[in-house]
Structure 1
Amino acid sequence: MSAQDHDDNINDGNPGNHGNHGNHGNFGATGPGTPGGAALPVAGRAQPPASIDVGAVENGAVVFENWRGEADRPEPPPPAPAPPRRRVGMAVAGLGRLSLAQILPALAQSKHARLAGLISGSPEKARAVAAQYGVGDNAIYGYGDMARLADNPDIEAVYIVTPNGLHLEHVSAAARAGKHVLCEKPMANTAAEARRMIDVCAAAGVKLMVAYRCQFEVFNSEAKRLVQSGELGKARLVEAVNAQAQGPGEQWRLKGALAGGGALPDIGLYCLNGVRHLLGEEPVEVYAQVVNPQDDARYREVEETVSFMLRFPSGAIANCAASYGAHESKDMRIRLEGGWIDLENAFAYAGQRMRVARRAGSIEAVEERRLAFKDQFALEIDHFSRCVREDRAPATPGEEGLRDHLLMEALYRSAREGRPVRVGADGSAQE
């Protein structure tokens, strides 16, 4: 074969010819190498990318058309974080397990907040955590010098993650320093303390939000939407259980002065607040029983197990239970007129699963709803931060925490007196 013949074969467009190295783009023909004679992709001169790939900018955020077929769920829009200097600078008060394992990592994921300071009773621990997260020495504080927060304009808000019995002191200190406050649940030890926290924040002109993370968790939000939509009729029965096997007795959760109570305010509160949030109504009557093991010194000051019922004006009844003495279980089940909803791990940090049952013709169909995971702490922090930046009222203000405290006090009263207790519009026990 001459050189000219070789050149001709390179450009003759015959895909079956081994000399076709110079024409990689000409694969449009059919031939024995294409099963069923199907056309192969054609690649030629590069064309400008289509809008479906490039996207567009709307309101300062990049958005894309849905590239998936009708059979698949569309992708959510890409994250649109606020610029770093527009994010709310937040200090975290309390560097225990919850802060280190959940809250600080969530702040790193936040689109509207950033870590700006640390408050701890352990200077050594604070310095170690500050080094991990890039917090300067000038943004580390002790509990006794929280007044100095007023001199740091980079810190706009404080997330209080200390034991319940210290919330009033630490919320008050942050508010008096002019900082907005996000406070872990339960809000305090008592309703009286909760009221004082609301008052001190109002007097200081700062926002107060209680960290009810499950109200922002995507499966809990979907369950609420489904229940309140009426799609499955009215809710009749709700079962909510939050249990865990508690360890050694030295921990603060088992000390009355720091915890304010045992299983009820710590983990039973998720059932109480979760049912209220799910149904969108307030109970009119409560009934509770408390059980403590007689030979376990850990429960001299706080309760191990509590079971309680909530009756609502719609006729719905919620049966709830919380225990420090049972294997971990954090589930909620809703029985409605036209179906049921089973939310596994409803109160956990992750691992939620939802099943929904309803009639489908002559059969019962049970479907699993799959939702993309979103860090509920990050969602909670972002909501609070946007409220600060946009001067809006939080979805879970101090009044929400106060109502739960009033309901818990009614539940404790019911357990002491061994009878149902009616509650008023504000959640307080009625005579």
Structure 2
Amino acid sequence: MKTRRAFLQQMGMASASIPFLNTGLLNFNREPGDDGPVLRVALMGLGGYASRVAESIQSCKRVKITGLISGTPEKLQTWRKKYNVPESSCYNYQNFDNIKSNKDIDVVYVITPNALHHNHTIRAARAGKHVICEKPLAISAKEGKEMVEACKKAGVKLLVGYRMHFEPTTLEVIRMRSNGEFGSIKFFQGLCGFRIGDPAQWRLNKALAGGGSMMDIGIYALNGSRYMVGEEPVWVTAQETKTDPVKFKAGVDETIQFQLGFKSGATASCLSTYNMNYLDKFFLNGEKGFAEMQPSIGYGPIKGRTHKGAVDAPIVVHQTVQMDEMAAIILDGKKPVVAVDGEEGLKDLRIIEAIYQAAASGKKIML
């Protein structure tokens, strides 16, 4: 009997053959809530993070789980009963294209292994559904670009699960930087890592993960450097360290240090690792002040301080705020402070590819 991992890999690598639908924007036909219309979500991939998202949605004002997609029948039954989802709105990876006729689903939240994002996103778009895709958007910039184009062609929105873009402490530091309270930005440091466990998990399988720590935890430091500095990098250098080639096989990075240069002259120094704990820190330095966040990307609470003192911001459940904000983006056309669209995810992928290239070549890569 095939394992779930093998089944996922087979389904994800297969290319969809359903023609694009010229759907335009979806017609949301639902009962409005006190805070506006409700976004009806189908969760795809019922693993650990999906459980966190599902629980968080229960506190949302504008989001409801109305569909489930999984390759494990037992999970579908358990989740269906827990979240009161009708059997007619439960799908597997073979038949989920049928959601195109399900008027009770507006968006598919793709929470499957990285290598499956491309296939699952394109199929959901072809079914006329908006897509929220977990980060990284894909395992290559080429795939990411195809996903962005597919969603545009289908007339649906593509968002990426960058939960930190809605986190209050993060947004307060961004506000201060935007208002010039730190002066000219000179330097950013992002440290992101943990000791990864089970060596058989998909995150250590290059075919499913597309890499190693950089694709999973390092993307937080990379993305953070961009929204904290407030610029796009123009060059990158990088170095890779591997102490356990058995656990971290070829193509699966254990630790990468990378440096970014910005047009203004600001620089960033970041660390991504699967082999060290207690790494969850951002530091931003400017001519007039600084900001430090530690923890900076964990599930919370995020703690920040600046040259003016502690950052006083609400403590929230990241995924609850993320989903309500994404409902506003999709339903109301709200523009977030920090972008979370497919183009934002594509920018990170292009830089990640440059980081891998720099680490392999030892050269500075211009972006």
Is TM (by shorter chain) over 0.5?
yes
| Paired residues for 1:16-95 under 5 Å | 82-83=33-34, 86-95=37-46
Cα separation, 2, equivalents of 1:232 and 1:407 = 26
Could you report, residue by residue, the CA deviation over 1:385-409 in whole angstroms, capped at 9, with x for unpaired residues? 1222124567311111111111111
Q: Which residue of 1 aligns with 2:210?
A: 260
TM-score by length of 2: 0.88
Could you report, residue by residue, the CA deviation over 1:251-305 in whole angstroms, capped at 9, with x for unpaired residues? 0000111101111111110011111012221011111011111553333330000
Deviation at 1:222, TM superposition (A): 1.0
Cα separation, 1, equivalents of 2:160 and 2:223 = 12
Paired AA for residue 50 in structure 2: S
Q: Which residue of 1 aligns with 2:17?
A: none
1:343 to 2:285 alignment: no
Paired AA for residue 359 in structure 2: A
1:369 aligned to 285, 306, 311, which one? Answer: 311
How much is the aligned-residue C-alpha RMSD, in angstroms? 1.6
Q: Which residue of 1 aligns with 2:22?
A: none
- Secondary structure at the aligned position of 1:309 is classed as strand
Cα separation, 1, equivalents of 2:188 and 2:37 = 42
Q: Which residue of 1 aligns with 2:173?
A: 223
Cα separation, 2, equivalents of 1:398 and 1:347 = 21
- Secondary structure at the aligned position of 1:278 is classed as helix
Percent identical: 35
| Paired residues for 1:244-283 under 5 Å | 244-283=194-233
Deviation at 1:136, TM superposition (A): 1.6
Deviation at 1:417, TM superposition (A): 0.9
State which drifts further: 286-295 or 190-199.
Answer: 286-295
Paired AA for residue 322 in structure 2: E
Q: Which residue of 1 aligns with 2:352?
A: 408
Paired AA for residue 124 in structure 2: A
Cα separation, 1, equivalents of 2:141 and 2:43 = 24
**Contact 1:88–1:114 under 8 Å retained in 2:** yes
TM-score by length of 1: 0.75
Q: Which residue of 1 aligns with 2:14?
A: none
Q: Which residue of 2 aligns with 1:241?
A: 191
**Contact 1:307–1:321 under 8 Å retained in 2:** yes
**Contact 1:215–1:274 under 8 Å retained in 2:** no
Cα separation, 1, equivalents of 2:329 and 2:345 = 17
Distance change (3 Å), C-alpha of 1:140 and 1:85: farther
Question: Please, which runs of 5 or more residues in structure 1 have no aligned partner?
Answer: 1-80, 359-366, 424-431
Q: Which residue of 2 aligns with 1:182?
A: 132
Cα separation, 2, equivalents of 1:329 and 1:356 = 19
Deviation at 1:143, TM superposition (A): 1.0
- Secondary structure at the aligned position of 2:103 is classed as coil
Distance change (3 Å), C-alpha of 1:393 and 1:236: closer
Relative contact order (C-alpha < 8 Å, sep 6+): which is higher?
2
Cα separation, 2, equivalents of 1:115 and 1:352 = 27
2:328 aligned to 386, 402, 418, which one? Answer: 386
